[in-house]
């Protein structure tokens, strides 16, 4: 399938809706059907004169046509800061066709530039009709190097008509602005209670992070997981990482990630492996190519077939770069993660998330696009950008037989997914707040990967079913 024809076709469609071709980019996602590439979804991105995204429209490929499914709209203040983000979905209902509100984010900024506040509202029906209902609120604070040092999560209690503090996380950094770890706490009975923490130590080209959970009975931190990372010098770019969990007094292998970079320190390949009890087994990989200005051009995702010991094509992303992108990054996620986050604030600009979900049967992903004025583009700054550290969840017992327990501190938008080492999903269900039992009596013996998605953040853990 010639993807250039599809992109041109999409641009022509959007042009008839009033957009200017010179101010749009296209993100096209496809999956491999065994013999050819099949288009799945496309995002058409529209910019203003400052290269900020003002609208993005998403289309789903249905046979020989593209169907409108949703759009995002962005409003900025006079200082160029995001003021409001609104997600709408396209309804084909006979009684109420057209664009329907879904949710929106309202942004507030402190006068000293240290604190940002984001209020999440959903479109709800009440006694007086539809209205914007407060759901959650997040408070972010940053250091002088624009890294987040404090994050607080609140939910809105409609009965009290007040915001209720749920949890908070504090993060510290070294002189290279690399994370030294975090401490998370929950608000219980009007007092802060420890929940989890991580501590990271660095050598010249490596890092070791230990993860802990709080034992309320003994008032002590219990070590439960660790990640060892090989780094590119004094940066956060990972060459390889190995995740392990603590079972009794023994460290058990779980997941391994291997990355390759080009001469510009841009990632060209991810390879993921799982531990089968005796050796590392290939699971999935992604290969990335770039435009001459170092912006992502194409990403191909493959799955490993253990039966034939070969790599098989799965999904790919095709991105057109029309000059507004500063950087674009492909971030692996749980393949069934919902499309919830459409924009993130990184203090140095905005990163817009597109194609956040699955296409075919392969690894899920999100394409994070950071934009800005082309004349201010500094390639070297994107080369040193930090790579987010993957965290693990605490599940017990592990190994498990008929069930295991998982604790979720905020289940506003949470679900759990279990996949086998071949990448096949074998279980998925929504989660409630607190500790809950997951029934696994239907699962065969062996190793699995448990993924918990909460408000767009994915945490993974290896599970052995006996």
> Can you tell me the distance from the alpha carbon of 342 to that of 45, in angstroms, rounded to the nearest whole number?
12
| Residue 350 near residue 371 (C-beta atoms within 8 A) | yes
Looking at residue 382, its pLDDT comes to 23
State pLDDT tens for residues 157-179.
989 999 999 999 999 998 877 88
Better-scored residue on pLDDT, 46 or 423: 46
Q: What is the pLDDT of residue 4?
A: 47
| Per-residue model confidence (pLDDT) at position 15 | 39
Stretch among 109-118, 248-257, 381-390 having the lowest mean pLDDT: 381-390
Query: Which residues, other chains included, contact 133 with Cβ-Cβ below 8 Å and sequence gap of 6+?
Result: 121, 122, 123, 124, 126, 156, 158
CA distance 326 to 297: 13
Question: Of 175-184, 242-251, 296-305, 423-432, which range is least confident?
Answer: 423-432
Poorest-confidence range of 61-75, 188-202, 215-229?
Answer: 61-75
Query: Hunting for tokens 């664009």 — which residue is that?
Result: 99
CATH fit for domain 396-465, picks 1.10.287.3510, 2.60.40.10, 3.30.450.20, 3.30.390.50: 2.60.40.10
> Is residue 422 over pLDDT 60?
no
CATH 2.60.40.10 region(s) of the chain? 396-465
């Amino acid at each position: 399938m010639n993807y250039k024809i599809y992109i041109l076709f999409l641009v022509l469609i959007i042009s008839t809706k009033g957009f200017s071709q010179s101010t749009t980019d296209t993100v096209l996602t496809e999956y491999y059907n065994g013999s050819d590439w099949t288009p799945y979804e496309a995002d058409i991105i529209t910019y203003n004169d400052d290269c900020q995204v003002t609208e993005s429209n998403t289309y789903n490929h249905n046979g020989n046509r593209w169907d409108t499914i949703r759009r995002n709209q962005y409003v900025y203040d006079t200082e160029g800061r995001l003021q409001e983000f609104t997600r709408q979905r396209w309804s084909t209902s006979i009684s109420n066709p057209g664009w329907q509100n879904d949710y929106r984010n309202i942004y507030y900024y402190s006068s000293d530039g240290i604190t940002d506040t984001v209020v999440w509202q959903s479109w709800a029906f009440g006694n007086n009709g539809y209205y914007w209902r407060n759901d959650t609120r997040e408070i972010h604070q940053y250091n002088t190097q624009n890294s987040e040092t404090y994050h607080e999560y609140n939910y809105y209690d409609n009965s009290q008509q007040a915001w209720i503090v749920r949890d908070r996380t504090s993060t510290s950094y070294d002189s290279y602005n690399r994370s030294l770890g975090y401490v998370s706490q929950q608000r219980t009975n009007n007092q802060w209670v420890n929940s989890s923490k991580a501590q990271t130590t660095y050598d010249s080209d490596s890092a070791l992070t230990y993860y802990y959970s709080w034992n309320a009975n003994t008032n002590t931190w219990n070590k439960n997981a660790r990640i060892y990372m090989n780094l590119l010098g004094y940066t956060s770019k990972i060459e390889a990482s190995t995740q392990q969990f603590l079972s009794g007094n023994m460290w058990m292998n779980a997941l391994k990630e291997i990355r390759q970079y080009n001469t510009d320190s841009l990632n060209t390949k991810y390879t993921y492996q799982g531990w089968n009890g005796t050796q590392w087994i290939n699971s999935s990989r992604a290969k990335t190519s770039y435009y001459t200005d170092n912006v992502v051009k194409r990403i191909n995702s493959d799955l490993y077939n253990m039966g034939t010991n070969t790599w098989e094509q799965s999904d790919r992303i095709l991105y057109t770069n029309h000059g507004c992108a500063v950087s674009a990054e492909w971030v692996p996620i749980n393949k069934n993660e919902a499309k919830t986050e459409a924009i993130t604030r990184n203090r140095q600009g905005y990163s817009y998330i597109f194609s956040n979900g699955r296409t075919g049967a392969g690894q899920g992903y999100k394409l994070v696009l950071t934009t800005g004025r082309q004349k201010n583009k500094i390639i070297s700054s994107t080369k040193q950008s930090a790579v987010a550290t993957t965290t693990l969840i605490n599940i017990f017992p592990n190994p498990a037989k008929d069930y295991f327990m998982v604790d979720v501190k905020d289940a506003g938008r949470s679900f759990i997914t279990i996949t086998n080492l071949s990448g096949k999903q074998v279980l998925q269900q929504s989660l409630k707040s607190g500790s809950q039992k997951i029934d696994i009596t239907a699962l065969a013996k062996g190793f699995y990967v448990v993924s918990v998605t909460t408000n767009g953040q994915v945490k993974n853990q290896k599970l052995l079913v006996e």
